Amino acid sequence: MKAAVLMIAVLLGSMSVAQQAEQKPETPAANPADVKSIDSIVSAIYDAISGPAGQKRDWNRFRSLFWAGARLIPLAKPPAKTGYAARLLSVEDYVSRTEPLFAKEGIYESAVANRVDQWAQIAQVFSTYELRHARGEKPFARGINSIQLFNDGRRWWVLNILWLNESEQNPLPERMLRPPGGKP
């Protein structure tokens, strides 16, 4: 009896995965150059959100990089609390949250070093970033984006981005400030 229940659970689970895999993401069409490789999609993320104060970002380009239901997840230490909290944002939540900031401030986010782990159709990128208000300025913040990606056989998609800004309690380690195998 237990074996029959387990078999049914496995079959239902695999049917659910197959149905989800067939769903077409509701996103704008991507520029093929943005999604052809892991490096290109990570670069496109940074490029899509970077620009001077008041410049409207190409949000359709940004949206085109993400699978439907993808999450952007900033970690933060709430004031006067111990530990960290994660805020789960949809792509639309991220757009509406950052658009007013980008209207007032220039934001240029760029990768310092990317550490990529890939197996088959999945990839994880630890991307050390710097934030500037203008190109050529000293960074005002740094941190790490943990980017989960998958390839559906035609292109790369972002499933999640989890990030944490550097702080006194969590300084970036030297090894994350250079590409793997790079010299200090």
CATH of the domain at 154: 3.10.450.50
Domain range for 114 is: 27-169
153 pLDDT above the threshold of 80: yes
Q: Compute the distance between CA of residue 149 and CA of residue 161 in angstroms, rounded to an integer.
A: 9
| Secondary structure of residue 174 in the 3-state scheme | helix
C-beta atoms surrounding 77 within 10 Å: 15
- Tell me, what's the pLDDT at 25? 52
Confidence label for 183 from pLDDT (cuts 50, 70 and 90): low
For residue 7, is pLDDT > 80? no
User: CA–CA separation, 99 vs 57, rounded Å?
Assistant: 8
Domain assignment present for residue 1? The answer is no
Task: Read off the tokens for 57.
Answer: 């970002």
Token pair recorded at residue 72: 């952007």
What is the mean predicted confidence (pLDDT) over 82-92? Answer: 93
Alpha helices in 1-136 (DSSP H): 2-22, 32-35, 38-49, 59-63, 91-104
* Mode of pairing for the β-strands spanning 66-76 and 141-151: unpaired
- Please give the span between the terminal C-alpha atoms of the chain, in angstroms, as a whole number: 60
17 within some domain: no
Q: Is the Cβ–Cβ distance between 165 and 181 less than 8 Å?
A: no
What is the pTM (predicted TM-score) of this model? 0.84
Q: What is the pLDDT of residue 53?
A: 96
Token code pair at residue 58 = 């190409």
Residue 37 lies inside a defined structural domain of this protein: yes
Number of domains in the chain: 1
Measured CA angle at 37 (ends 67, 68), to 5 deg: 0
